[in-house]
Homo-oligomer: A and B are copies of this chain.
């Protein structure tokens, strides 16, 4: 790998994969919008259309923004570590707030229509994922952004933070698929098997969700695409050294 004045060149294929992930992510959001607009009457905060705010907010927050927050360390390879960390944390805050609006929408809608809450596998997975996401953010903030955490604690927690980050993202993708399927079967019922246009569009949306999840996971897990150590940071901050130690099997 080429290195110049402490800046490591990005792996050649990485930008193409990142661009492809963004194209897929935006297509997921647009297809969700198209599905809700074409077949579900659009979105409103009052009445029956309030439900539609739920899938759109969850897809923007817990799929697209959460996925992008995970990619921050792959995309910003040469920016100061603290800037990248703050961006990672902020993207997760935006994702969380948008998802919270989506959660309020569905509970509000259920209350107004007199529907039961939290009976389905989609809702169980959703609540599990949402709680884990919140806890992961709080613990991540306390360890990595709050100045007090000991270096050794950070280094031991970091691999767990990365694993649970990826796992919660994948759980979010799975939960979105379950929700999509639920929305389809409730409305289409037996008509689903006649290849109705809505069903086909929603299936395509499901495959796009799987594709986005898979692409983000691929970019995250390629060992040679990990953020390189930086000369500047190694000199300026013990922080970085201890944070990356967790990566190496030999340090355990």
B-binding residues in A (CB < 8 A):
1, 11, 115-116, 119-122, 124-125, 128, 159, 163, 167, 170-171, 173-174, 177-178, 180-182, 184-186, 192-195, 199, 202-203, 206-207, 210, 214, 217-218, 221-224, 226, 247-249, 252
A116-B193, A185-B186 are contacts. A177–B174 as well, Cβ < 8 Å? yes
Asked if A207 meets B174 with Cβ closer than 8 Å, knowing A194-B116, A221-B163, A223-B248, the reply is: no
In Å, the complex CA distance between A185 and B210 comes to: 22
Q: Which residues of B contact A121 (CB under 8 A)?
A: 177, 180-181, 184, 202-203, 206-207
Q: Which residue of B lies closest to A251 (CB)?
A: B224
Contacts of A1 in B (CB 8 A): 252
Chain B proximity of A75: nearest CB distance (Å): 17
Residues on B with C-beta less than 8 A from A194 are: 116, 119
Residues in B whose Cβ lies below 8 Å from that of A125: 177, 206-207, 210
Given contacts A167-B214, A206-B124, contact A249 B221 (CB under 8 A): no
Given contacts A177-B177, A181-B178, contact A119 B192 (CB under 8 A): yes
Q: Can you name 26 A-B residue pairings with CB atoms under 8 Å?
A: A11-B252, A116-B193, A116-B195, A119-B192, A119-B199, A120-B192, A120-B203, A121-B180, A121-B181, A121-B207, A124-B206, A124-B207, A128-B210, A163-B221, A163-B222, A167-B217, A171-B210, A173-B174, A177-B177, A178-B181, A181-B185, A182-B185, A185-B186, A221-B221, A223-B247, A223-B248
